[in-house]
Amino acid sequence: MKKGIAMKKGVSGLLAVLMVMSVFLAACGDKGAEDQSSQTYDPKSKLEFTWLNVLHTASPPTETIKSKIEEYTNSKITFNWVPDASKEERITTALASGELADMVTLTMMTNSSVRSSLKSGLFWDVGKYLDDYENLKKIPPEVREAASIEGVLYGVPFQKNLARAGLVIRQDWLDRLGLKVPTTLDELYEVARAFTEDDPDGNGKNDTTGFVDRSDLRYSSFKTLSSYFGTPNGWKVDESGKFTPEFDTPQYMETLKYSQKLYKNGYLSKDFAVTAKTDQQQQFAQGKAGIYTGMIDISNLRTLSQGLQKGLKLVPVNKISNGDGKYHVWSEGSGVGGLLAFPKSEVKTEAELKRLLQFVDDLIDKDVYMYMTGGIEGTHYKIEKDGAFKIIDTDLWQADVQPFSSSRPSEVTYNLKDANPEKELANELVRENNKFAVLDPTVPLDSVTANEQGTELEKIITDASFKFIMGELDEAGFKAAVENWKKSGGARITAEYEEAYKKSKK
C-alpha cells in the first residue's frame, strides 16, 4: 500500500517536472517566435516566393520580362496564374482551402468571401509598415483609407485612376453615316440605332449592331450607362446617413428601360448575357459592332482588328450626359484596384513580410514599371523624338509584356505619352474623369452580412436586371426582386452600413 502511494507520488512528481519543462519550452518557443518576427531583414537579400496572380490575357507571359524583374529585385518568382474569367471561383476556393501563395492579388474587394477572409485575420496588416519604403510611403492617405476595412489595411493597395469608364466608338462609321460623337444618352441611342440599321460598314448586309456587350453588369455597358443617368455608385447616402442601394433608385430603373429598349430593337448584341470579355472584344474587332464599353481597351481593340478592318478609326468617349449637361462616371474602388496581400500562413515572420514589401516597393521604381509596361527598350518599345512611347513589335510585346501590365502596383506614379493618338486621348480622358467621378460610399465601410452573403444576394439583382433587359421581367417583377433582396439579408446590410458610416463620422 505504501509502495503504491510512493509510486503515485513519483509519477506525480515526474508529471509536475514535465509540466514545468513544457511551460518553460513553450515560453522559449514564444520568445523564439518573437525574436524571429522582430529580426532585422536585409532588403537586398535573395527573395524566393510564390505569387497568386490574375491573368488578363489568353496566355501567361514568357520568361523574358520575368527574368528582368527578378534581376532588378533580386528575387525568384513562382507565379500561380488565375485566368480573369475564373478568378472569382478560383480565388474564393483558394481562400476557403487555405492553399495560398506568399503574395496574393486580390482584386474583388466587394466579394463577400474576400472581405470575410481579410477580416478574419488571414492576412497581415501592413498599414504601419508602408512609410518605411520610398515608394509605398507616397500612397495617399485617401487611397489607404479606401483600401482599408474598418481602418485596417490588409495589403498594399493597387493604385489606379479614380474612374476609367468610358466608351470606344467607331469614328469611321460615324463619318460614313454623317453622325457626330454623341454627348447625350439620346444621341448615343441614335448612334446605336444607326450602327444597327443603316449599314455603317457599307457592305450592303444587315450584319452589324450598336453595342457589343458581355455577361457582367459591372463591367459591361450597363454600369457606365447607369452612371450617365446619374445613378449612385453602389449606394446613395443622404445627409441624415440613410443608405439606399443603387438598384432601388429611379435612375437605375431608367437605365434598365434604356437597355431593354436597346436590346429589344437589336441595338445591343442579343448574346450579351452569355458573352465573355474576350469574345466581346473579338466581336468588336471583327466589325460586328461599333460601340464598346471600356475606354482603356482602345489599343487592344485596334491590335485585335489588324488585318480585319480596313480604314478603322476609333474615338474614346467619356462625357455623356442625361441631357442636363452634367457628367457622372462611376469610380471603381475609389482609386483602389485591389490589394497585394500576404497570408500569415505563408509569410510567418515580420522579416519575411518586410522583404516582400521591399519587393513591391521595387516594382514601383521606374525601371521595373517600364519593364511591366513597355518591356525592354529597343526590343519591345522605343521613345520617339517628341517623347512619345511606342510599341515596336506588337506580337512580341503581347507575349512578353502585356500580361504583367495589370500587375503593376501603381498605374498613376508615371505618365507616358502614347504614340498612338487614340490611346493618348483615352489616357487624357481617364485623368479628366477625376473631375466628375462618383465614389461608392461603402468602400471603406464594412458590413458583416455583406461579407457573409453579399455575393449571393447580388445574384438576385443581377439575374433580375438581365431578365428585365431581355424582356423577361417587368417593373413590378424587378421591384419584387429588390424586396426579396431586402428580406434575404439586404435590409441588414443597409442597417450595418448606416451604423458603420455613423461610427466613421465620430
Quick one: three-class SS letters along 442-458? CCCCCCHHHHHHHHHHH
Q: Residue 341 above 60 pLDDT? A: yes
pLDDT in the model for residue 8: 38
Rounded to an integer, the average pLDDT of 348-366 is 97
Residue 279 reports pLDDT greater than 60:
yes
Model pLDDT, residue 455: 87
CATH 3.40.190.10 residue ranges for the chain: 47-162+336-396, 167-332+438-504
User: In which band, very low, low, confident or very high, does the pLDDT at 24 lie, cut at 50, 70 and 90?
Assistant: very low
pLDDT over 70, % of the chain:
92
> With contact defined as beta carbons under 8 Å apart, do 447 and 456 qualify?
no
39 pLDDT band, cuts 50/70/90, is: low
Distance, CA of 314 to CA of 317 (rounded, Å): 10
Query: What is the reported pLDDT for 43?
Result: 82
pTM of the model: 0.75
pLDDT at 26: 41
pLDDT at 182 over 70: yes
Mean pLDDT, all residues of the chain: 91
Grid cell for residue 182: 454623341
* Confidence check: pLDDT of 394 > 80: yes
Q: CB–CB of 304/280 below 8 Å?
A: no
Q: Residue 496: its pLDDT value, please?
A: 97
For the residues 192-200, what does the mean pLDDT come to?
A: 98
Instruction: Answer whether residue 439 shows pLDDT above 70.
Output: yes
CATH class given for the domain over 167-332+438-504: alpha beta
Distance, CA of 311 to CA of 97 (rounded, Å): 51
The answer to whether 155 and 339 are in contact (CB under 8 A) is: yes
Those residues whose C-beta lies under 8 Å from the C-beta of residue 214, and which sit 6 or more positions away, are 220, 272, 275, 276, 277, 279, 280
pLDDT tens-digit map of 86-133: 998 999 999 999 899 999 999 988 787 898 899 899 999 999 999 999
Query: Above pLDDT 90, what percent of the chain?
Result: 79
Quote the cell numbers at residue 486.
Answer: 431586402
pLDDT at 88: 87
Averaged over 167-175, what is the pLDDT? 98
Closest by Cα among 226, 234, 279, 274 to 254: 226
Whether 68 shows a pLDDT value over 90: the answer reads yes
pLDDT at 378 over 80: yes
CATH class of 47-162+336-396: alpha beta
Is 283:309 a contact under the CB 8 Å cutoff? no
Average pLDDT over every residue of 223-232: 97
